[in-house]
C-alpha cells in the first residue's frame, strides 16, 4: 500500500511539473521579426513554394525539439488539445491545422531559446509570415 501512495504522489508531481513547463514556455515573448518576400499561394512560383516548404521543415524540426512532447501524437506525453492545433508527426502537412491565432503562440514558445540559430530564426519568421498570408487568402 505504501508503494502505491508513493507512486501516486510521484505521478501527481510529474503532471504538475509537465504542466508548469508548458505554462512557462507559453509566457515567453516574441521572436525577432524579419520581412519575407515569399507569398505562399496555389499560384506561387515553384521557387517560392520550395522556399516555403524548406522554411516549414526547419520550423517543424525546431518545434520538435521545443514542443514535441505535447505536439507529437506518437509520444505518450502528447496532449489532445495540442495535437488539435498541430501535430508534428504529420511531416510536411504538420501546419495544415494552424489558424492565424496559433502563429503567435509558436513565436512565443521559441523566442529566447538559445539553441535556435539565427538562420533557423529567419526561416521560422519567414514561414510564419508566409503562413499568415496564406491563411488570410
- pLDDT confidence of 3, banded at 50, 70, 90? low
Mean pLDDT, all residues of the chain: 79
- Angle, helices 100-110 vs 2-26, to 10°: value is 110
Domain that holds residue 129: 2-135
Q: What is the pLDDT of residues 55-104, one digit of tens each?
A: 999 999 999 999 999 999 999 999 999 999 999 999 999 999 999 999 99
Task: Enumerate helices (H) and strands (E) in the chain, giving the number of each.
Answer: 5, 0
Which residue is associated with the grid cell 504522489? 9
Q: What is the pLDDT of residues 32-41, one digit of tens each?
A: 444 444 444 4
What Rg, from alpha-carbon coordinates, does the chain have?
17
Domain count, the chain: 1
Amino acid at each position: 500500500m505504501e508503494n502505491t501512495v508513493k507512486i501516486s504522489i510521484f505521478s501527481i508531481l510529474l503532471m504538475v511539473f509537465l504542466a508548469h513547463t508548458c505554462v512557462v514556455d507559453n509566457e515567453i515573448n516574441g521572436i525577432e521579426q524579419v520581412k519575407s518576400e515569399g507569398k505562399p499561394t496555389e499560384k506561387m512560383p515553384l521557387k517560392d513554394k520550395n522556399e516555403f516548404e524548406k522554411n516549414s521543415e526547419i520550423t517543424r524540426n525546431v518545434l520538435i525539439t521545443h514542443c514535441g512532447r505535447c505536439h507529437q501524437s506518437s509520444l505518450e506525453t502528447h496532449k489532445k488539445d495540442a495535437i488539435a492545433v498541430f501535430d508534428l508527426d504529420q511531416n510536411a502537412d504538420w501546419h495544415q491545422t494552424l489558424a492565424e491565432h496559433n502563429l503567435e503562440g509558436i513565436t512565443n514558445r521559441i523566442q529566447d531559446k538559445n539553441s535556435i540559430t539565427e538562420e533557423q530564426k529567419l526561416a521560422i519568421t519567414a514561414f510564419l509570415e508566409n503562413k499568415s498570408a496564406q491563411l488570410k487568402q
